Amino acid sequence: MNRREFLSFLGAASLLSLVNFQIEKCIYVLFNGKIYSEGRFLEGYVGIHKSGKLVYSQKPIIGDTNIDCKGLVIAPGFIDILADNALNPDKTYLIFEKYKLTDGCTSPLQMHGGSDECGQFYKNFSVKPHYTNFGVSTMVMTIRNKYPSLSARLKKVEQNLEEGALGVSHSIEYQPTDYFEVLEYAKLAAKYERTFFLHLRYSAKETELEGVKEAIKLAKETGVALHIDHIHSTGGTYNMPKALELIQDARKTGLKITACVYPFSYWATYLPSKRFDPGWQQRYNLTYSDLTVVGTGEKLTKEKFDMYRKGYNRLVAVPEGTMDMKNTVDLALKEDFVMIGSDGGIESEPKANNHPRGASCYATALNYSKKISMPLEKMLYKMIDLPKSLVFKPLEKRGKIQTGYWADLVLFNPETIQGKASVFNPNQFSHGVEYVFVNGKLAYEKGQLKNMAGIGIKY
């Protein structure tokens, strides 16, 4: 057999293998739905093979269980690159994953936080059952608390990257860090071709753009892919048009800068944080009674503020409308480099002290897209494809309706989809999410948790 005949044989064998994979009976067949993949809608049938992989066909597929998806969208599961469950994951991870799953998210990745021992994290959690896939970045804030010298910090960050960490994350408003040191973390992220996730340095009207400029400088000096966390609450709250213009101009020069938003008009954080340092009333035009303890609805007084700030570590929310959606989120979502990221997670029951975005970010975003007349496929692109691009290699066979890809899927009703979580009660499943599959297993069906099939996502 000559070389040409051999290559022809290989091609025929591969085609035969694919055909056999397609015609072999699937466990589930989804039909009559609106299929989303890579920015557009498709027609056809989606099968879930016993291997956990997808089969996509424009012709009918044989299946054990056929699900009529009339009125539903069939989409890859949402990818949350800004999930957060860093405080006590050993005890809380199943609660965290449950509320992500019921919001349609199949891969909540902790890139705003994460772990300071990523290798050990993956080892420990890989033997546990999971509702969703999971993954972490290397958390610089925790590393800086443990290691006094910069050389030791950098060594630990690099070790985490070698052990599979999905990126590098740091929050320089909450833990102020010299630019030179931040630059070193960015260099390591660039060396390993990972994204550097950055909570900017400033959130005040007078200084927030300086934080955006600093992020651009980091990208320029290192070539790192840099992601700005929740730009509408830190970086563009008061000056969004200018913040977006700065990033647009930087991207035109070839810099890899992205940003995310969550579809809520209020932020929440812990009282001991730097965000509530003296002068916060003037910075945000708020007072004590404007602060609400999430999960209880308690309004603060100066006395309660002082007590909680000294060590009770309560998370409080500012009033709805603190961030003007029209002039922040709406403007940001028009840009092709801005995606959805929750910046949250639910960590306790029955009523968590966590922002409602931890349970309802994605359903809320889909509902909000109708209010601002954004095409559904554009919002889905910002919830699946753009986030995937930041962690592409580990997610290469996910986030797309194509034969041979992993069957991480969400089926939702675009007319009724709505987040139900609130400041008073964040622990609520999203409305309109009908089915969720994780690695080919039915994980959630119409309000009921089913199988646990999540796995670790790592480099």
Which residue type does 25 have? K
Instruction: State residue 29's pLDDT score.
Output: 98
Instruction: State residue 9's pLDDT score.
Output: 38
Cα dist from 136 to 245, 335, 356, whole Å: 31, 27, 21
C-alpha closest to that of 364 among 325, 398, 399, 401: 325
Instruction: State residue 401's pLDDT score.
Output: 98
Rounded CA-CA distance 127/302 in Å is 46
| 54-57 vs 45-48, strand pairing mode | antiparallel
Peptide bond into 426 cis (omega under 30): no
Residues of the chain with CATH 3.20.20.140: 76-265+323-400+418-442
Strand partners, 339: 260
Out of 3.20.20.140, 3.40.50.300, 3.40.350.10, 3.30.365.10, which CATH number does the structure's domain 76-265+323-400+418-442 have? 3.20.20.140
The SS3 assignment for 311 reads helix
Q: Which ranges of the chain have pLDDT less than 50?
A: 1-20
Instruction: State residue 257's pLDDT score.
Output: 98
Task: Name the pTM for this structure.
Answer: 0.94
Instruction: State residue 3's pLDDT score.
Output: 43
Instruction: State residue 17's pLDDT score.
Output: 41
Rounded CA-CA distance 54/401 in Å is 7
Is the CA virtual torsion 19, 22, 25, 31 positive or negative?
negative
C-alpha closest to that of 135 among 371, 358, 395: 395
Instruction: State residue 23's pLDDT score.
Output: 54
Which residue type does 75 have? A
